[in-house]
Structure 1
Amino acid sequence: MTASTDREPAGYRPADRQDPEGVAGRLAGEDSSREDVLTIAQEQAHVSVERRETGGVRVRVVTDEGPVLYPVALEAETVEVTRHPVEREVEAVPGPREEGDVTIIPVVEERAVLVTRLFVVEEIHIRRTRVTETVEVPVTLRRQRAVVEQLEPGAAESGPGEG
């Protein structure tokens, strides 16, 4: 009788192998009259985890500042004031009016005739001109970036500013 070197557990018998000496039957207790001794080998594995420091990383956030020319649209408005004589009699004081981009403000005076009458003496015309200009204004912008440093074993315990 020979022992198997495959190290199979006791009672293991694959369907495709033959058991010429009836070892499987003796293990199951079918033939207990024979005093044959069968040596069974058993292997055991033990797995353990060992923590070892192999290094570390330090992450810093750095803020960079830099001037940037930022385009800005500036808008300016100028007015042109002109006087226009009218000399027209009116029944009531007229209000300001707009004609296109011109605002017209009537100037009225009372004149003594046998009766009092209103005359528009002049009109003041105000014309608005709008100018838009794009200029570049310097602006300081901030941007953050992360710096990752690889540390050697034992250096991970030091705090910021050390080492």
Structure 2
Amino acid sequence: MTKPPAPDQPDQRVELLEEQLQLRKHLVELGRVLVETKVETTPHVVEALLKEEEVKVERVPVGQFVEEVPPIREENGVLIIPVLEERLVVQTRLMLKEELRVTKTVREELVRRTIPLRAEHATVTRLEEPDLRFPITVEGEDQ
């Protein structure tokens, strides 16, 4: 138990202390640099193999009666497509009127072109050496 203070003694108080920390940041310039870019164009030769196909259609008259439709066929690299018509005779019969002969020719050509390609190069130059003993504070808003 604590004793009540005596009437002749003044109140005793204990003051409590508190430390507070306030942290601030500011921008410090330590030096400056200059960045320059340069675009360099160099020609490059490129090659490509180009293929071209040419189709020639030749009509070959046949003039022959057939019993059924001949199939589409290929002979020595030539595609043969039968063309038919019906002719009225005492009876209807198939007449092979003509054949279409399709020949394909493949031609290859090596093409060479010069194409310019660009490359960018950067140069960095320090404008002044920083003196770290005396940093420069940049004025403005705290970071």
| Aligned CA-pair RMSD | 2.8
Find the counterpart in structure 2 of residue 10 from structure 1: none
Looking at both structures, which has the greater relative contact order when contacts are Cα pairs under 8 Å and sequence separation is at least 6?
2
Runs of 4+ deviating beyond 4 Å:
55-61
Across the two proteins, how many residue pairs are aligned to each other? Answer: 102
Q: Percent identity?
A: 40
Q: From 94, 98, 101, give the equivalent of 2:77.
A: 101
Find the counterpart in structure 2 of residue 115 from structure 1: 91
Partner Cα separation in structure 1 for residue 125 and residue 71 of structure 2? 76
Q: Any stretches of 5+ residues in structure 1 without a counterpart? A: 1-52, 158-163
Provide, for residues 109-156 of structure 1, a one-character-per-residue CA deviation record: whole Å limited to 9, x for no partner: 1111110100111111010001111112343322233324354436xx
Q: Kindly name which structure, 1 or 2, has the bigger radius of gyration based on alpha carbons.
A: 1
**TM-score, normalised on structure 2?**
0.56
Find the counterpart in structure 2 of residue 90 from structure 1: 66
Aligned pairs (5 A) from 1:1-163:
58-149=34-125, 151-153=127-129
Q: Any stretches of 5+ residues in structure 2 without a counterpart? A: 1-29, 131-135, 137-143
Provide, for residues 73-128 of structure 1, a one-character-per-residue CA deviation record: whole Å limited to 9, x for no partner: 22111112212222222222234222242111111111111101001111110100
- Of Structure 1 and Structure 2, the greater strand share is in 2
Partner Cα separation in structure 1 for residue 35 and residue 63 of structure 2? 84
